[in-house]
Amino acid sequence: MDFNLLLMNKTLNEGKWVEAFKPGTYVDSSGEKRSFSAEDINAIADGVRGQFAAGYNPPLVKGHPTTDSPRQATIVDVKVGDKNMLMFKVEKVNSDFAEETRKGMWPYQSIALHKDFSKGIRHLGALGGVAPAVKGLQPLEFGEESKDIIYFSTETDIKWAIKDIGSLLRKMREKLMKKKALKRPMLFIPNGPLKI
């Protein structure tokens, strides 16, 4: 699935309906298997309508940021389509983001929703190198960490953060060894990739 952004043929603020979520059983980013029925999809849609009624429009963002920003586009409407597909109407697309999407930098989409469906969603995330847990969605055409939020992607942001920290620690070890002219490795920081 890719974000071919056919929206580029229209004005970026015109709006486009996009598929966001559907019934099924998925593994969330914490590794927990969760099942969603058609009734759940309707409850999520009702929650998003409640967000609109309260004056809030959820964002489309890059990845799954804990602050739900920066906003790359705005979700302005919601519906449940054929086969109980949760669909969002997206407007006000950031032109730089649209260009990045057209170049294939954001090929997937993934939803972050509240466990309490009546609260709606946190955001719709555009994913780059991480495949979404929910497969088979049509491509898009154009946070504060909380235990009550469910993120759907096959790799967690924390996993990548840990790998980055491991790489940084290994580089620091090498620099320290060189600076102190140590002949044998410091054993408390392992050499090689961290296995997670």
Write the pLDDT tens digit of every residue in 50-83.
Answer: 999 999 999 999 988 888 999 999 999 999 999 9
- Phi and psi angles of residue 5, each rounded to the nearest 5 degrees, phi first: 50, 60
Q: How many domains does the chain divide into?
A: 2
- Domain with 14, as residue range(s), is 6-151
Q: What is the pLDDT of residue 185?
A: 57
Give the residue from 82, 91, 77, 90 showing the smallest Cα distance to 45.
77
Tally Cβ neighbours within 10 Å of residue 142: 27
14, 91 contact by CB (below 8 A): yes
C-alpha span between 42 and 97 (Å, rounded): 30
Q: State whether 107 and 196 are in the same domain.
A: no
> How many Cα atoms occupy the beta-carbon half-sphere of 22 within 13 Å?
15
Q: State whether 135 and 184 are in the same domain.
A: no
Q: Degrees (nearest 5) of the Cα angle 117, 51, 114?
A: 30
Q: What is the pLDDT of residue 146?
A: 47
Q: State whether 21 and 99 are in the same domain.
A: yes
Q: Degrees (nearest 5) of the Cα angle 64, 65, 66?
A: 115
42, 80 contact by CB (below 8 A): yes
Q: State whether 82 and 127 are in the same domain.
A: yes
Q: What is the pTM of this model?
A: 0.66
Q: State whether 177 and 89 are in the same domain.
A: no
Would residue 1 count as lying in a domain? no
Q: How confident is the model at residue 36 (pLDDT cuts 50, 70, 90)?
A: very high
Two tokens at 2?
A: 């890719």
Q: How confident is the model at residue 89 (pLDDT cuts 50, 70, 90)?
A: very high
